Amino acid sequence: MPTHSTRRAISRQWELLKLLPNRSPGLTAAELHQQLEGAGHRTTKRTVERDLIELSSLFPLHCNDKGTPYGWYWQPGRSIDLPGITVGEALTLRLVEDSIRPLVPRLMLKSLEPRFSQARQKLKALSEESASARWIDKVASVQPALNLIAPDINAEHLDLLQRALLEDLQLLCQYRSANKNRVHELTLNPLALVQRGQITYLVACADTFDDVRLYAVHRFEAVTMLGQPGRRPAGFDLPDYIQSGAMQFGVPQAIQLHAWVDPALAKRLHETPLSEDMTLIAEPDGARLTATVNDSWELKWWLLSQAGAIRVDAPTTLRQALIDSQRQSLALHDTAI
Phi-psi label, residue 117: left if phi above 0, alpha if psi -120 to 50, beta otherwise: alpha
Among 215, 244, 273, the domain boundary falls at 244
Which DSSP helix (H) or strand (E) runs through 279? strand 279-283
Residues 129 and 208 in one domain: no
Instruction: Please tell me whether residues 163 and 233 are part of one structural domain.
Output: yes
In a domain, 81, yes or no: no
Q: Residue 159: inside a domain, yes or no?
A: yes
Instruction: Flag whether 145 is in a domain.
Output: no
**For residues 211-224, average pLDDT:** 93
204 phi, psi to nearest 5 deg = -155, 165
For 275-334, how does the pLDDT look when each residue is reduced to its tens digit (9 = 90+)?
999 999 999 899 999 999 988 888 898 999 998 899 999 999 999 999 999 998 888 888
Domain termination site, one of 204, 220, 244: 244
- CATH code at 30? 1.10.10
* 84 pLDDT more than 70: no
Q: Is the pLDDT of residue 1 over 50?
A: no
Residue 132 lies in a domain: yes
Q: Please, what's the largest Cα pairwise distance for the chain?
A: 91
Arithmetic mean of pLDDT, 20-49: 84
Higher-confidence residue: 234 or 80?
234
Q: Please provide the average confidence, as pLDDT, over all residues in the chain.
A: 84
Whether 265 and 314 share a structural domain: yes
Structural domain including 36 reads 1-74
pLDDT > 80? residue 128: no
Question: Is 32 in contact with 72 (CB distance < 8 Å)?
Answer: yes
End-of-domain residue from the set 74, 97, 114: 74
Residue 156 has pLDDT above 70, yes or no: yes
Q: Is the CA virtual torsion 95, 99, 104, 108 positive or negative? A: positive
Q: Quick check: is 142 in a domain?
A: no
Cα-flanking dihedrals φ and ψ of residue 117, to 5°? -65, -40
Give the residue-averaged pLDDT of 98-120: 79
Domains: count for the chain: 4
Residue 143 is assigned to a structural domain of this protein: no
268 pLDDT higher than 80 = yes
Confidence of residue 216 (pLDDT cuts 50, 70, 90): very high
My answer on whether 59 and 116 are in the same domain is no
Say whether both 19 and 59 belong to one domain. yes
pLDDT at residue 82 tops 70: no
CB 174 within 8 A of CB 185: yes
Looking at the structure, tell me whether residues 207 and 236 fall in a common domain: yes
Same domain, 203 and 274: no
Does 147 map to a domain? no
- Dist. CA 20–CA 240, nearest whole Å: 44
Structural domain includes residue 53: yes
Taking the C-alpha atoms of 37, 127, 20 and 32 in order, what is their torsion angle to the nearest 10 degrees?
Answer: 20
Q: Are residues 162 and 237 in the same domain?
A: yes
Going by pLDDT thresholds of 50, 70 and 90, the confidence category of residue 192 is very high
CA–CA separation, 183 and 214 (whole Å): 16
Claim to verify: residue 199 and residue 272 sit in the same structural domain: no
Task: Give 210's pLDDT tier (boundaries 50, 70, 90).
Answer: confident
Q: How far apart are the C-alpha atoms of 130 and 40, rounded to whole Å?
A: 5
Assess whether 236 and 258 both reside in one domain: no
Residue 140 has pLDDT above 50, yes or no: yes
Do 162 and 238 reside in the same domain of the chain?
yes
The CB density around residue 184, as the number of other CB atoms within 10 Å, is: 12
As a whole number of angstroms, the distance between CA 54 and CA 299 comes to: 64
Instruction: Answer yes or no: do 239 and 274 share one domain.
Output: no
